[in-house]
Structure 1
Amino acid sequence: MSGHGSPELAVEGAEGLTVVVIASQWHDEVMAGLLDGARRALAEAGVADAVELRVPGTFELPVAASRVAAAGIDGRAVDAIVALGVVIRGGTPHFDYVCQAATSGLTAVAERTGVPVGFGVLTCDDDEQALDRAGLAGSHEDKGHEATTAALATAVTLAAYPRG
């Protein structure tokens, strides 16, 4: 199981953070689970200032994250972004292109802006793997919760270091 060895993160001090959750619209059931996990993690950390944005697919996550990190939300700087999506392998190289673009694009946003980006993009061989990671009843993992917790923990850690 890919979650083996993952740390148990307890996020303290996240109450005042401004967080944006950006989620793709593909794969309704999987995305519902990922979003529920993200919402639960935000609530557990006491984050009240969270905005959800929906984009068509995983490929669009980096441009949305880039715009939000630069512009903020309603005049507020964004402290953390959570990117949620799912890509299921098909019979063409499209899977590889979308996964690479999302990964490198979201990494570039975090590096360029200094805003932590929680990577909640599932890259799976089939629907069963995605459902098993979506945080649904019967799932073995909750990647929406994990990605959100990681983004929050990083934002809290970096709060003492102003963006340059």
Structure 2
Amino acid sequence: MSGKGAPELSVKNCQDLRVAVIAAQWHEKVMDGLVDGALRALHDLGIDEPTLLRVPGSWELPVAAKVLAGRGYHAIVALGVVIRGGTPHFDYVCQGVTQGLTRVAVDTGVPVGFGVLTCDDDEQALDRAGLEGSNEDKGHEAVTAAVATAVLLRSVSEPWH
């Protein structure tokens, strides 16, 4: 199971952060679970007014993240799901989305939580979507990672007193 070995992150002093969640619309049940997990994580962290945007599919996540990174957000969370099919389409979409989101984070310095499921089948996606009976909650994990990174970056960018 891919969730083994995940760190227990304790995130504090983040209530003032501006966080955006961008979610694809494909695979409604999986996406509902990912979005619910992300919003629950933000609420748990005391971030009660995140921005939530829905894009058509995972392919559109990087461009939306890039625009939001330039508009004063401290962290962005990208949620999507790509299910392997019988063509190379899966490989191209997964690679493009991953490279695009990585580029946004590195080029802008804004942490991007990676909550894009890349699964062989629907069962794997449902098991990671944070739904009742799921073994993992990748929406929640993506928020926690992005916000923890934003807090870390803020701590190293503040001047010495």
Per the normalisation by structure 1, the TM-score is 0.94
SS in 1 for 2:21: strand
**Aligned pairs, number:** 158
Deviations 1:122-146, CA, capped at 9 Å, x for gaps:
0000000000000000000000000
In the alignment, what sits opposite 1:138? 133
More displaced 10-residue stretch of structure 1: 85-94 or 44-53 = 44-53
SS of the aligned residue for 1:49 comes to coil
CA contact (8 A) 1:17 1:49 kept: no
CA distance in 2, matches of 1:87, 1:94: 10
Match 1:159 to one of 151, 154, 160? 154
Corresponding position of 1:114: 109
Whole-angstrom CA distance in 2 between matches of 1:13 and 1:104: 30
1:125 aligned to 2:154?
no
Task: Tell me whether 1:52 sits opposite 2:52 in the alignment.
Answer: yes
- Looking at structure 2, the residues matched to 94 and 101 of structure 1 have their Cα atoms a distance apart, in angstroms, of 11
* Structure 1 CA distance for aligned equivalents of residues 120 and 32 of structure 2: 19
Distance 1:64 1:144 in 2: 17
Paired AA for residue 10 in structure 2:
A
Residue 103 of structure 1, aligned match among 73, 84, 98: 98
Match of residue 31 from structure 2: 31
Percentage of matched positions with identical amino acids:
68
CA RMSD in angstroms comes to 1.1
From 56, 81, 89, give the equivalent of 1:86: 81
Q: Which residue matches 2:41?
A: 41
Secondary structure at 1:66 match in 2: helix
TM-score of the aligned structures, taking structure 2 as reference length: 0.96
Aligned AA for 1:65?
A: A
Could you list the structure 1 runs, at least 4 aligned residues long, displaced by more than 3 angstroms after superposition. Answer: none
Q: Distance in 2 between matches of 1:69 and 1:29?
A: 28
Shift in Å, 1:10? 1.5
The residue identity in structure 2 corresponding to 1:121 is V
